[in-house]
Structure 1
Amino acid sequence: MSGASSPQLAAVERTPRLTAAHTSAAKSALAESILDAEDALTSVHRSWFAPATRPCAPSPERVDESTIRTRHAEAAVRGVPWFDLPNRRRAARVAQRRALTDIGVARRAAEERVQAEEQRIDQWWAALCANDPRVVTEHVNGVFASDRGTRAAALGTHGACVEVAVVVSGEHVLPAEEVRLAADGSLTIRRASVAHRAQLYRQHVAAVVIATARRALAASPGADSVKVHALRATCTGPFDDLNLLAVAELTRDDILHADFGMDAVSLLLRFGRGVRIGAAGIDTPVMVPLALDTVPGLAERLEEVCAGHHRASA
């Protein structure tokens, strides 16, 4: 039997190299996707939110002049024979005057509605800037409700401080694998260790705390600070249990001077006030919760908010 031809030998020799190249590309793509997922979880605190501005009333409603003119024109000639041209012309002139009067009335009414709305907005904006508890709580909750994926609620205000609770996603959002660099500089992908997952989740919780404070401050021009309670919901039977993961207060000045190039935990510990954050777990869960009574009265305030939501959805 004759030996294999040169093209066949070249193809056989090339196959391992091609397979290795494809494997390396797939591995790099997987590593990149894992790192992107980690970055998305730990960089939430870098989100910027536009500050609230005074809204404007909508422009006056357009008056349907054509319909008004047609209505008066038809009413004026009703009962006047078609051949009675002098009376029909007089009726048309009367209809035109009446239509102009109604159009003027409609325009003034539309302008008055705009003025009334502007006055209402002035009062509302003044209350928001004065940190009125009811106005601020309702507005911040409306802002949170409009943000898809945000599970946060304003609990109320204490002077110039807005108190907020936010539910953080569970550890199921963490990537199952982690990326490491081997001694030779090559990438290795392995099942994420408990320590790595705990560190990652702690960064995520801190990032959510900071982002929630920034969102609430942006929505509350009269507030000087926001106190955030980060919670985790665990399902036990028909109800969810709430565990307290972190508590921190951030002032507007803190946010202004913070270095957002820092990781979330370091930033929170450096710029936050009264910071308490759960320790990293050694098994499951990946983060040890704080006692709910760490914050006096928090359980009762959460119960009131939950009861209010149930009444609203009933």
Structure 2
Amino acid sequence: MHLQSFPAAHPPQIPDAPRLGLPWALAEARAFHLQGIGRLARAERAAAKQRAEHDAPFYLAAEVARLQAVREQLAGEAQQWWQALVSNDEATVCEAVNTAFSDNPAAGCAVGVDGSVLSVVMRQQDLDSLPTQAPGLTPSGRPTLKNLTKRDKTLWWLTSMGSNIVATLKEGFATAPGVTAIDLAVLTRLPDTQRLGFVAYGRWTRATIESTPWREPEDALRFLDIGQDVACSVTTTASGNLSSIIKPLDVTRVPGLQDLLDHAQDEPDSGETTLADLDISLGGNTPANGGSSVTDPFRIKPFAEWKQEAPSGLPLPPPAPFVVPIALVAGQTLVLPEEAWQGLRMAFSFSGADADLTLFLTGQDGRVAGDEDFVFYNQPSGASGAARVLGKQPEGPHTVERATVHLSALPERVRRVALAINMDVDTGLTCASLTYANLHIECGTGAAWIFQPPADPDIRAMVVAELYRHTVDSRPAWKLRAVGQGWAEGLDGLARAYGVDVE
């Protein structure tokens, strides 16, 4: 663990608010006003379009102003948080450090800040939990398991503790840039009494930790030599060997340690929050699926919601009747109705593994004009809001990721929109791991289509469907094609195929 490096904290960077354009606002307004109006009701449709043209500029201006105000508020809060962190505000530093510690194998907890000195308590693995045997060779060279001597087991445990101490110190300094030293104390369950006790403590400075080379596993034991007032239960005997007996340290030398020990709970069956489970409790609010449960601060307010809140807002039109979606097969194409140009809503539903929905806005050559035409979870908006991914959320036993595309608001250079999925690169899983996967597409009139992509065990990224410009009876049209083909190399291959630079 001590060989791991940790990125240094830096001021939070608040992304720009989504760029929105009048074509997008007009498409949203038209989709709203045309709901429930039949295609043959020409006078009513013309009036609805006029209302949309009237409302769109006001809707756009309201959303642009609201999103900019949200960004300014976030930027102000981020600046205040950063100033509190670098000035060693105790609550801010402890919260940031404990969040960083939440995934550590040795649970750590920041318990206070005094000036520029941070105090940390770490829970080391119990000696009795280590194996009693280790791999070895017989005199004839055959592999075997050999019993560990008590001294060897103690050395293993001490090296593990030193490694965890060094990692905790490095991560603490990386997370809290204003901290110059860390007072760290280590708790474990003592083998003889099975009670908690402190087995190491000391003070380590930032300069010492950052200037010491950490290259070999044996370097973990350097924590004993480079700290200030370091005490450790494992000592060196007069003959130069490590002691094999672990006894609790005298905590009266360091103020506050006895109080910490008196209030430490380490009974897994007690039902109380335990120090052993500290890393779990600290990370308990971390959202799964890459943060999908966190509310998007730049959520765009739907036109219907804006219209309802507007002082002169008209009542909402009646909802469109439910229409059974048309099931598509791979390779099937169809011409989208003109109403679909004003807004398509997409939902990719799946379970069994994690996947991400991605949109590529390409030109005639099938490639994106720039990275801004690559719409995904880190860049959820493209073409001034005409294409957006809206994030994932659980719905019953499935996960659903949604997106919207306003075809009429896309710039003329965009000739095709690829709707793609890619598996989580960290899992190494293929599309065969997805169960109950389907892409559902609908427009405001209720027309809907559904396609179930193949569970291909040889690919990790797939184009599920495409939207592309076409000409029908000498008139411009948009068509939908079900695809279901992909790349074995996953997101990298998918992105390169559409001209996205992959570093």
Work out whether 1:202 is the aligned partner of 2:175: no
Displacement of 1:234 in angstroms is 6.0
Q: Structure 1: which amino acid aligns with 2:246?
A: M
Q: 1:250 aligns with which of 189, 204, 219?
A: 204
Counterpart Cα distance in 1 of 2:190 and 2:165: 19
Q: 1:297 aligns with which of 251, 256, 259?
A: 256
Counterpart Cα distance in 1 of 2:247 and 2:190: 13
Question: Could you say which residue in structure 1 is the equivalent of 2:233?
Answer: 278
Relative distance call for 1:302 and 1:172 in structure 2 (3 A) is closer
Displacement of 1:204 in angstroms is 1.9
Counterpart Cα distance in 2 of 1:261 and 1:165: 25
Work out whether 1:100 is the aligned partner of 2:57: yes
Q: Structure 1: which amino acid aligns with 2:151?
A: A
C-alpha contact 1:213 1:227 (8 A) present in aligned 2: no
Work out whether 1:231 is the aligned partner of 2:190: no
Q: 1:111 aligns with which of 68, 72, 86?
A: 68
Work out whether 1:52 is the aligned partner of 2:9: yes
Displacement of 1:309 in angstroms is 5.5
Displacement of 1:216 in angstroms is 0.9
Question: Could you say which residue in structure 2 is the equivalent of 1:30?
Answer: none
Counterpart Cα distance in 1 of 2:106 and 2:131: 20
C-alpha contact 2:96 2:175 (8 A) present in aligned 1: yes
Q: How does 1:129-148 map to 2 (within 5 A)?
A: 129-145=86-102, 147-148=103-104
Relative distance call for 1:180 and 1:150 in structure 2 (3 A) is closer
| Rg (Cα) greater in structure | 1
For residues 226-259 of structure 1, the C-alpha deviation after alignment (integer angstroms, 9 at most, x for no partner) is 12111104699xxx84210100221111012113
Work out whether 1:287 is the aligned partner of 2:241: no
C-alpha contact 1:155 1:301 (8 A) present in aligned 2: no
Counterpart Cα distance in 2 of 1:259 and 1:250: 15
- 1:121 is paired with a residue whose SS is helix
Q: How does 1:205-216 map to 2 (within 5 A)?
A: 205-216=161-172
- 1:46 is paired with a residue whose SS is coil
C-alpha contact 1:45 1:210 (8 A) present in aligned 2: yes
Q: 1:69 aligns with which of 21, 24, 30?
A: 30
Counterpart Cα distance in 1 of 2:16 and 2:54: 26
Structure 1 or 2: more helix by fraction: 1
With structure 2 as the length reference, what TM-score do the two structures score?
0.45
Question: Could you say which residue in structure 2 is the equivalent of 1:169?
Answer: 125
With structure 1 as the length reference, what TM-score do the two structures score?
0.68
C-alpha contact 1:209 1:248 (8 A) present in aligned 2: no
- 1:244 is paired with a residue whose SS is strand
Displacement of 1:296 in angstroms is 1.5
Displacement of 1:168 in angstroms is 0.5
For residues 158-203 of structure 1, the C-alpha deviation after alignment (integer angstroms, 9 at most, x for no partner) is 1111111110011134342356789999988531111111222222
Work out whether 1:157 is the aligned partner of 2:118: no
For residues 132-163 of structure 1, the C-alpha deviation after alignment (integer angstroms, 9 at most, x for no partner) is 11100011111111x15341110011111111
Listed as ranges, the gaps of 5+ residues in structure 1 are: 1-43
CA-atom RMSD, angstroms? Answer: 4.0
Relative distance call for 1:209 and 1:91 in structure 2 (3 A) is closer
Counterpart Cα distance in 2 of 1:249 and 1:265: 16
For residues 75-130 of structure 1, the C-alpha deviation after alignment (integer angstroms, 9 at most, x for no partner) is 9x9xxx947x4x87466334312122112211221121112111111110111111
Question: Could you say which residue in structure 2 is the equivalent of 1:17?
Answer: none
- 2:231 is paired with a residue whose SS is strand
- 1:45 is paired with a residue whose SS is coil
Relative distance call for 1:54 and 1:268 in structure 2 (3 A) is same
Displacement of 1:56 in angstroms is 2.1
Relative distance call for 1:71 and 1:272 in structure 2 (3 A) is same
C-alpha contact 1:72 1:98 (8 A) present in aligned 2: no
Q: Structure 1: which amino acid aligns with 2:226?
A: F
Structure 1 or 2: more strand by fraction: 2
- 2:73 is paired with a residue whose SS is helix
C-alpha contact 2:162 2:220 (8 A) present in aligned 1: yes
Relative distance call for 1:155 and 1:192 in structure 2 (3 A) is same
C-alpha contact 1:198 1:281 (8 A) present in aligned 2: no
Q: Structure 2: which amino acid aligns with 1:54?
A: P
| Superposition misfits of 4+ residues, deviation over 4 angstroms | 61-64, 72-75, 87-91, 178-189, 301-306
Instruction: Tell me which of the two structures has the higher relative contact order, counting C-alpha pairs closer than 8 angstroms and 6 or more residues apart.
Output: 1
- 1:218 is paired with a residue whose SS is helix
Q: Structure 1: which amino acid aligns with 2:227?
A: G
Counterpart Cα distance in 2 of 1:298 and 1:138: 21
Counterpart Cα distance in 2 of 1:257 and 1:111: 44
Listed as ranges, the gaps of 5+ residues in structure 2 are: 238-242, 266-271, 275-280, 285-503
- 2:2 is paired with a residue whose SS is helix
Counterpart Cα distance in 2 of 1:224 and 1:152: 18
C-alpha contact 1:136 1:220 (8 A) present in aligned 2: yes
- 1:60 is paired with a residue whose SS is coil
- 1:93 is paired with a residue whose SS is helix
- 2:119 is paired with a residue whose SS is strand
